[in-house]
Amino acid sequence: MKIKVKLLSVLIGIVTLGWGGWWVYQSSWKGGDFLIMEVEKEKLTFVNISPSRGMINSLSVLGSVDLWIPNGMGYYPTSKLPLILDQENSQPNLGKMVAFYNFGLWPVSVIYDGDWQNNRWLWKNLGPLGWLRFRLQADDWLQKKETISGDLSLAKESLEEKIPRDMAEN
């Protein structure tokens, strides 16, 4: 009788570990490109984490650049974007729509006044295995930073080169 109880306990433990491992794997980032839009007080930053290229690309748009806000709102400086997005809580994808209309990007996640490299945020969005993979590999990757200031239409030619090269998924 004691052997059956021990065997049953071991079997339940193995099944529980297997299910837990499967859940952790399913909820984690699989290593594809991950695009983040970070909305700060005076700038807007797009960050593309690309393990296949071994790069972290960031494109910052300073507060003086005018961006098109959809839904009939018109052009506003980047510095006003946090206030607009805060007031428009009824439209959860407005930040992603701003990224799409102005840059042709649809970020996986939008962060407001946060640090995307924060462990808590990375764990929540990449999952446990994705967080571990990112923390182990990111120090060896190239980090490229671009900044746009002034008129967005004047930077159009350089953006047409940079966005497909640096921000596109592999």
pTM: 0.77
To the nearest 5 percent, what fractions of the chain are helix, strand and coil?
45, 25, 30
2-37 per-position pLDDT tens digit: 787 888 888 888 888 888 777 777 766 766 788 889
**Residue 75: which residues within 8 A CB-CB, separation 6 or more?**
66, 67, 68, 69
- CA atoms of 134 and 49, how far apart (whole Å): 9
Q: Does domain 34-167 have CATH number 3.30.420.590?
A: yes
The per-residue pLDDT for range 67-111, each reduced to its tens digit, is 888 877 888 888 888 888 887 766 778 888 888 888 888 898 888
